[in-house]
Every structure is written in C-alpha cells, then in structure tokens.
Amino acid sequence: MKHEIKIPAGCNVKFSIENGMAITEIEGCETIKLGENSVDEPKFKENDIVYLNSVQSVMIFDHLDDSDVIHTKCFYSTLQNKLSTKTINVCGKMRLATESEKQLLYDKLKERCLMFDGENVVRWRAEPDNIYYGVDSDGVMNDEESCDVLDDIRYKNGNYFPTYKMADAFQKQYIELLNNFHKNL
C-alpha cells in the first residue's frame, strides 16, 4: 500500500511504526510571512513558542506590532548560542516551534535558573516532590520541594538552584563577598 502526503515547506516530519501502523507526525507547519497582509496568515497568540527562520531563534511570542516588530518574552538564538529577553526587530517566516525546539529553549532557560510558567519567564522552581539545591551552615544541601514555608523562604531569598554545581558556585561567591565585606569594615 502506498500513500502520498504533500508536506509544506518548513515542516518537520517524523515517521515511526507502532503496533504495525505507520505513524507520521508533522510539526511546525503554521507559518507567517512578516510584512505581508494575507488573510490566510495564521495569527500567533501571546505565549506561543515559535521559531523564526531568518535569525534561527526559538522565542516566546508576545505580540507583533503595527510595524511588524516581533515582541518577545525571551528568545534563544541558535546562531549565537545566546538567550535574551529583549525585543527583536526582524522579518521572515515564523512558525510554531517543534517539541525539540521548545525543549532547547527550556533547557537554555534552566541553565540560567529561569523557566517559562506558561505566562512569564520566571526564576526556576522545582515541581513538588522534586529536588532543589541550596546552601546552609553545613555547605551545599539538597531538599525536596514540598511547597512549605522553608521552601518559599529559600526561593524568595534566591538560595534555590536546580543543580549542585550552581549552589556550589553561589556558596563560593557568597563566602568571598562576606570575606571582602569584613576586610573593609
């Protein structure tokens, strides 16, 4: 048996076989050409995660203004390996990001202790029952997020990290800051 499917340009296609069935997944087909006012252009909404081909960037879409300036909540440029929260002014084709492109953006946010909560880019916080790291009087420690007062205090004070390595780096900088403070009294 043979089936032909015409795949629009710019789409990502994945094939797999499950239980004797051929599965075809097509992602990222909605595109918009900025600067053209076509009635069939899909409209992206706030908080959509999109990919902009012209600058090879994954971004959290905020809005498109009357001058075709894309306003973002953040974007990650794969060309420059740079995460930014600035608005960018570009033209080109924009489409919904694939799952792997979204994950790339989430991973880059996590590297900077940030995450996207569905509405805003905020500091990273562990899901309930997951581990986070901090610093106490004995050095770097880990704790399970239980959404209690102590977790809230650590989070609000900034003593809350996704990795041991980040907590350790924080501890070293904190100790250096305290030593310098006391030297200058």
What is the pLDDT confidence band of residue 71, given thresholds at 50, 70 and 90? confident
Whether the per-residue pLDDT at 98 is higher than 60: the answer is yes
Q: How do the domains of the chain map onto residue ranges?
A: 12-112, 131-183
Cα three-residue angle 110-113-119, rounded to 5 degrees: 75
Interatomic CA distance for residues 62 and 50, integer angstroms: 10
Q: Which range among 8-12, 52-56, 81-85 shows the weakest confidence by mean pLDDT? A: 8-12
For 183, phi then psi, to 5°, come to: -65, -30
pLDDT of residue 69: 77
List C-alpha distances in Å: 153 to 100, 113, 128.
34, 17, 15
Rounded-to-10 torsion of CA 83, 70, 118, 12: -80
Closest by CA to 98, choosing from 34, 41, 50, is 50
Share of the chain above pLDDT 90, in %: 49
8 A C-beta contact, residue 169 and residue 158: no
pLDDT of residue 38: 38
8 A C-beta contact, residue 109 and residue 121: yes
Whether the per-residue pLDDT at 34 is higher than 50: the answer is no
Whether the per-residue pLDDT at 104 is higher than 80: the answer is yes
pTM value is 0.62
Per-residue pLDDT tens over the stretch 111-157:
888 889 899 888 989 999 999 999 999 999 999 999 999 999 999 99
Interatomic CA distance for residues 62 and 26, integer angstroms: 25
pLDDT of residue 10: 60
For 54, phi then psi, to 5°, come to: -60, -30
pLDDT of residue 67: 76
DSSP letter, residue 76: E
End-to-end CA distance of the chain: 83
